[in-house]
Structure 1
Amino acid sequence: MVTSWNRPTTLTVNKKAIQFNIEQELKRLQPGQEVFAVVKANGYGHGAIEIAKLALEEGVSGFCVSNIDEAIELREAGILLPILILGVITPSLAPLAQQYDLTVAVASKEWLTEVIANDELDTIRAPLKLHLKIDTGMHRIGFYDVEDFVTSVELVESQPRLIYEGVFTHFATADEADDTYFSQQAQCFNQFIEKSPVKPKYIHCANSATAFWHQACPSNIIRLGIGLYGLNPSGKALDMPFELQPAASLTTELVFVKELQAGDKVSYGATYEAKSNEWLGTLPIGYADGWNRHLQGFKVLVDGQFCEIVGRVCMDQCMIRLPKHYPVGTPVTLIGENSGQVITADDVAEHLQTISYEVLCDIGARIPRRYV
């Protein structure tokens, strides 16, 4: 997809905010802990390579991504620190992971057996580093049976081409006030660790939410994801224990302005009708850019004033009701600060009944990322 550099719609990423957020977490580290920056999904929409290079300068120890292609992108951009692939890769791709010195997740004994049978694993290169994933209650991927886990650890230890570097899990409710299920998962994880015949270098369970609200849970890697980008993992459910700075702002400009007459209808389906003479502004952003169709009725900021999105959001454009005439080219803020007023990604998410993660990840490739 072509990035629309010549359209006035832009996602601006504040590098100082990213630096500040990393510093905040580094100050909280306990002895033996390291921070891995999570840059999957194009750095939660912020730009994976740019965020990785910035995090590298701030002293993180490694990176987490979702799949092998995201990992290779970082390697080919010159990132040399450890990269952990959190998702399951196809077993036949294990030699490719070894070639790029990538760390991969193991979710089952069957996957491991297939990898061991692959003659393409290179005995000359460094062993393929593995982190065994434990399913403590998310039920996405991971070992669910303790005996399968123990057998798999022993199997890895018997293979010179493999190294048991880590074991990890992911919590389902670390960002909720009720920690009942969290405690059950933590207990399950500890049971697996106790059964492991060998203790690996890394034992980790701390995503942003766990690191922020459950520091007592032992984890020597902090997988800093949404917190890296300055957002509260719980949305608005829990208060942050320390300050973060949101890094992204989404802005555009008025590209067309007209005065509606009473009774005029707006956009597809004619779902909005002007009750009196009104000023209408058109914005060059739509659902193809990730500005969701269900944002009709939400607001943006013009000159520090909240302006309602009227009519259905189109593929490439949307319309807003203006309090008065503003000229074409007037700045508009969709996420961020404008003349003292603020719209957050959490505000957008609340309207859409989703989470800020989705709002940011949905911001499309047509929108250029600018780093300031």
Structure 2
Amino acid sequence: MVTSWNRPTTLIVNKKAIQFNIAQEQKRLKSGQELFAVIKADAYGHGAIEVAKTALLQGVNGFCVSNIDEAVELREAGILLPILILGVVSPTLAPLAQQYDLTLTVANEEWLRYVATNNDLDTQKAPLKVHLKIDTGMHRIGFNKIDDMVKSVQFIQSHPLLTYEGIFTHFATADEEDTTYFDEQVATFTEFVKKSPVKPKYIHCANSATAIWHEDCPTNIVRLGIGLYGLNPSGDVLSLPYELKPAASLTTELVFVKQLHVGDKVSYGATYQASEDEWIGTLPIGYADGWNRKLQGFKVLVDGNYCEIIGRVCMDQCMIRLPKYYSPGTTVTLMGEDNGQVIDANDIAHYLETISYEVLCGISTRIPRKYV
């Protein structure tokens, strides 16, 4: 999809906010802990390369991504710090990971045996670094039997082109008030680590929520994801113990303004009807841009005023009800601050009955990113 540089709709990314959020977590790191910035999914829609370069300036120790293509993009952009791929990568791509000095997640012994049997790793390069993923209760990927983990560690130890660099897990309920299931997962992970034949360099389990609300977890890497971008991982379930600054704001402009009269209908399905004479404005953003069709009835900000989205959101446009006439070219804030009023990704997510992660990741590449 082509980026619409000549349209006034823009996602503005504040690099100072990203650095501030990193610094907030760095203050809390314990001795021996490192901070990895999670920049998968194009840095949650903020732009992976620019966010990585911004995080480098703040002194992060490494990066986490979802897949090998995201990792290669960073390497080819000149990013040299460790990069851990959190998802399962086909064992056929192990040589590519070794070539780019990437760290892979291993979720079962069969993956290791395939890599060893096919003998495609380069003996002239450094061994391939792997982290074993432990399934402590997410039931997504990973080892769920200690014996299988032990055999895999032993196998890695016997293979000269593999390095057992880490063991890790992921928690399902770290952002919830009830810690019962969380505590069970911690206990399971602790037992796996205890039974590992050797202790690797990295033992980690802290995503943003764990780092924020469960500081005592056995981890020497904090994988800072949504917190990096300034949002509360729990939405509004738990209060943050320290300040975070949202890094992204989404703005556009009025491109057309007209007056409706009583009975005039708006957009597809004629679902909105004016009950009095009123001013409406058209915005150049729609569901093809990630501005969800279900946002009819939600509000945006114009000159500090909350203005309702009226009628159905179209593919490329949507309409809002204005408190008075505003000229085309007037700034409209869909996410961010305007004259002391704020709409953030959690507000949008709450209206859509989803989470801020989905809101941010859903912002289309048709919308240009501007870094300030």
> TM exceeds 0.5?
yes
Q: How much has 1:33 moved relative to structure 2?
A: 0.2
Of stretches 271-280 and 131-140 in structure 1, the one that deviates more from structure 2 is 271-280
Residue 335 of structure 1 corresponds to: 335
For 1:12 and 1:314, the matched residues in 2 are separated by 23
Runs of 4+ in 1 over 4 A off after TM superposition: none
Kindly indicate whether the alpha-carbon contact (under 8 Å) linking 2:296 and 2:313 is maintained by their aligned counterparts in 1.
yes
Paired residue secondary structure (2:27): helix
Kindly indicate whether residue 50 of structure 2 is the aligned counterpart of residue 53 of structure 1. no
Q: How much has 1:261 moved relative to structure 2?
A: 1.3
- Listed one character per residue, the Cα deviations across residues 302-350 of structure 1 (whole Å, up to 9, x for unaligned) are 0100000001101110000111111000000000001111101100000
Q: How much has 1:352 moved relative to structure 2?
A: 0.2
Residue 98 of structure 1 corresponds to: 98
Q: How much has 1:40 moved relative to structure 2?
A: 0.3
Q: Aligned runs of 1:15-54 on 2, under 5 Å?
A: 15-54=15-54
**Residue type matched to 1:363 in 2?**
I
Kindly indicate whether the alpha-carbon contact (under 8 Å) linking 2:132 and 2:168 is maintained by their aligned counterparts in 1.
yes
**Residue type matched to 2:124 in 1?**
I
- Listed one character per residue, the Cα deviations across residues 276-323 of structure 1 (whole Å, up to 9, x for unaligned) are 111110000001110000000000000100000001101110000111
- Listed one character per residue, the Cα deviations across residues 68-95 of structure 1 (whole Å, up to 9, x for unaligned) are 0000000000000000000000110000
Q: CA RMSD in A?
A: 0.6
Paired residue secondary structure (2:243): coil
- Listed one character per residue, the Cα deviations across residues 183-234 of structure 1 (whole Å, up to 9, x for unaligned) are 0000000110111001000000000000000001010000000000010000
Paired residue secondary structure (2:87): coil
Unaligned 5+ segments in structure 1 are none
Q: Aligned runs of 1:135-146 on 2, under 5 Å?
A: 135-146=135-146
Kindly indicate whether the alpha-carbon contact (under 8 Å) linking 2:281 and 2:321 is maintained by their aligned counterparts in 1.
yes
Kindly indicate whether the alpha-carbon contact (under 8 Å) linking 2:190 and 2:218 is maintained by their aligned counterparts in 1.
no
Q: How much has 1:32 moved relative to structure 2?
A: 0.2
Q: Aligned runs of 1:119-158 on 2, under 5 Å?
A: 119-158=119-158
For 1:112 and 1:282, the matched residues in 2 are separated by 56
Paired residue secondary structure (1:316): coil
Q: Aligned runs of 1:79-94 on 2, under 5 Å?
A: 79-94=79-94
**Residue type matched to 2:153 in 1?**
V
Residue 115 of structure 1 corresponds to: 115
Residue 254 of structure 2 corresponds to: 254
| Paired residue total | 372
Residue 324 of structure 1 corresponds to: 324
For 2:143 and 2:268, the matched residues in 1 are separated by 49
Residue 240 of structure 2 corresponds to: 240
Q: Percent identity?
A: 74
TM-score (norm 1): 0.99
Residue 208 of structure 1 corresponds to: 208
Paired residue secondary structure (1:154): helix
Q: Aligned runs of 1:343-362 on 2, under 5 Å?
A: 343-362=343-362
Unaligned 5+ segments in structure 2 are none
Q: How much has 1:264 moved relative to structure 2?
A: 1.0
